[in-house]
Amino acid sequence: GIMELQFKPVTEKNRKEILSLELREDQKKFIESIENCLSEADSHSCWHAVGIYDGNVLIGFAMYGLFWEYLPFGRLWLNRFLIDRRYQSMGYGKAALMDLLKRLWKKYHRKHIYLSVTDDNQTASALYHHFGFAYTGERDMRNERVMVLKIA
């Protein structure tokens, strides 16, 4: 069927459900737990944490924000993006990422969107490459490889 993707902020109401999202066992080492993400979002107002829904069904999670410590203009980071293991390989990753990038573009009007990926997370790197992200040669604080999407 047609996907009706929506991004809803994490609130007290949906927080528990969002915390129940799961990755496959072999993917867990690639990213921080959602719990860590949410506690980061609670303490840093620049982070926006959202549930990704298809209609009313929660299928994933994303977190993004604009960081001013990167001088001179700040950097827009897509810090987390995941699809629950029960909904993987159904086309949600591509569809949700496309919608999310449009949303970030509209909200922040930034020419660059940054993210980082672990060396061995080929699935994620392949998805990001597909959308035009490229390695910058930098590594972030967790030694992940930084990628950037340059919007013409």
Q: What are residue 16's phi and psi, to 5 degrees?
A: -65, -45
Torsion from C-alpha of 147, 111, 73, 99, nearest 10 degrees = -70
- DSSP H stretches of helix in the chain: 12-19, 34-43, 92-108, 122-130
Question: Starting at the edge strand that comes first in sequence, how are the strands of the sheet with 5-9 ordered?
Answer: 5-9, 47-54, 57-67, 75-83, 112-117, 145-150, 134-139
Q: Is 135 a known active-site residue? A: no
Which residue in the list 64, 87, 114, 128 is annotated as catalytic?
A: 128
The C-alpha atoms of residue 129 and residue 77 are separated, in whole angstroms, by 16
Nearest CA-CA partner of 59 in 117, 98, 20: 20
Positions annotated as catalytic residues are: 128
